[in-house]
Amino acid sequence: MGTHCRTIIHDDAVPLISMYRQFDGYLGGHGLELARFLIDMKIVKGMGLGQECEQVANGAGCLAAQMIAYFKNEPGNIYIEPMPDEDTDHVDYVYKVMVDSGKITVEVTGDGNNFKGTVSEFANYCKEQ
């Protein structure tokens, strides 16, 4: 049996996408991978011609699309699902990526964990677990 998790990207507190992961959803697995994806990501509003594109997301929707491309490399394990009812969602961890005014914060709950902070703080938190 795997460690199930869900990652939800929010744009100004509005949930955009729910990504379910069937295996390796714990902090030292999915958490660290998510931190690596987010650590140098810059959120911009509009992109100009010739603008550097590495580690840039044109808003939360662009970030969500890039996250799926980053994690989904084979059939199975990673799925896009409707937003769950929090009372009936049976996952071990919930990762919330919050994009608000160009800033990214991460919240994690599950298995006795309750974290909220910047991406750098999140990366350090995952390494400590």
pLDDT score recorded for residue 93? 96
CA-wise closest residue to 61 among 95, 106, 15: 15
* Range with the poorest average pLDDT among 1-5, 67-71, 111-115, 118-122: 1-5
Strand partners, 81: 18
Q: How far is CA 15 from CA 56, 83, 96, 103, 117, in A?
A: 20, 8, 9, 16, 18
57 token code pair: 């997301």
pLDDT at 35: 98
pLDDT score at 22 = 95
Q: How confident is the model at residue 85 (pLDDT cuts 50, 70, 90)?
A: confident
Evaluate whether 28 touches 129 at the Cβ level (below 8 Å).
yes
- The rounded mean pLDDT for the chain is 92
Question: Tell me, what's the pLDDT at 55?
Answer: 87
Strand partners, 44: none
Q: Which backbone phi and psi does 17 adopt, to 5 degrees?
A: -150, 145
pLDDT band at 129 (very low <50, low <70, confident <90, very high): confident
Cα-based distances in Å from 105 to 35, 37, 48, 49, 50: 11, 13, 25, 28, 28
Give tens-digit pLDDT for 2-61.
899 999 999 999 999 999 999 999 999 999 999 999 999 999 988 765 566 678 999 999
Give me the phi and psi of 63, to 5 degrees please. Answer: -60, -45
Position 104 scores a pLDDT of: 97
